Amino acid sequence: MTDSTTTQTTTSSGRTLRTEEMIINMGPQHPATHGVLRLELVVDGEIVHEVIPHIGYLHRCFEKHCEHMTNYQQVIPYVDRMDYCAAMNNEFSYVVAAERLLKIEVPERVQYIRVIMAELNRIASHLIAIGTYGIDIGAFTPFLYCFIDREMILNLFEMTCGARLLYNYMWIGGLSHDLPPEFAPKTKEFCTYYRKRIEEFNNLLTFNKIFVKRTANVGVLPKDVAINYGCSGPMLRGSGVDWDLRRDDPYSVYNKIEWEVCVGKGEMGTVGDCWDRHIVRMREMEQSLIIIEQALAQLPEGDVQAAIPKRIRPNPGEVYARTESPRGELGFYIVSDGTATPYRVKGRAPAFSNLSVIGEISRGAMIADMIAIAGSTDIVLGEVDR
pLDDT score at 35? 80
Q: Which of 1-15, 163-177, 205-219, 301-315 has the lowest mean pLDDT?
A: 1-15
Residue 315 has pLDDT above 80, yes or no: yes
pLDDT score at 33? 76
Query: Which H or E element spans position 210?
Result: helix 209-215
How would DSSP label each residue in 51-99? EEEE--TT---HHHHHHHS--TGGGHHHHHTTSTT-HHHHHHHHHHHHH
Within a domain: 279: no
With H, G, I as helix, E, B as strand and everything else as coil, classify residue 319: strand
Within a domain: 238: no
24 closest CA partner among 56, 51, 55? 51
pLDDT score at 31? 79
Number of C-beta neighbours around residue 13 at 10 A: 10
97 closest CA partner among 298, 285, 312, 287? 312
Sorting pLDDT into bands at 50, 70 and 90, what band is 323?
A: very high
With H, G, I as helix, E, B as strand and everything else as coil, classify residue 166: coil
CATH code for position 343: 1.10.645.10
CA separation for the pair 65, 60 (Å, rounded) = 9
Residue 147 has pLDDT above 70, yes or no: yes
CA separation for the pair 133, 374 (Å, rounded) = 9
Within a domain: 77: yes
Query: Which H or E element spans position 289?
Result: helix 274-298
CA separation for the pair 264, 271 (Å, rounded) = 6
Q: What is the pLDDT of residues 47-106, one digit of tens each?
A: 999 999 999 888 888 888 888 877 889 899 999 988 889 999 999 999 999 999 999 999
Within a domain: 337: yes
Q: Which residues contact 362 (CB under 8 A, 6 or more apart)?
A: 48, 51, 219, 369, 370, 373
Rg (alpha carbons) of the chain, rounded to whole number? 21
Q: What is the pLDDT of residues 104-123, one digit of tens each?
A: 999 999 999 999 999 999 99
Q: What is the pLDDT of residues 216-264, one digit of tens each?
A: 999 899 999 999 999 999 999 999 999 999 999 999 999 999 999 999 9
Within a domain: 264: no
Residue 5 has pLDDT above 50, yes or no: no
Q: Which of 25-34, 64-73, 289-298 has the lowest mean pLDDT?
A: 25-34
Which is more confidently placed, 10 or 299?
A: 299
* Predicted TM-score of the model (pTM): 0.91
Give the residue numbers spanning the domain of 138.
Answer: 62-218+298-385
Domain total for the chain?
1
Residue 342 has pLDDT above 80, yes or no: yes
CA separation for the pair 350, 378 (Å, rounded) = 10
Query: Average pLDDT, stretch 169-183?
Result: 92
CA separation for the pair 339, 342 (Å, rounded) = 7
Sorting pLDDT into bands at 50, 70 and 90, what band is 308?
A: confident
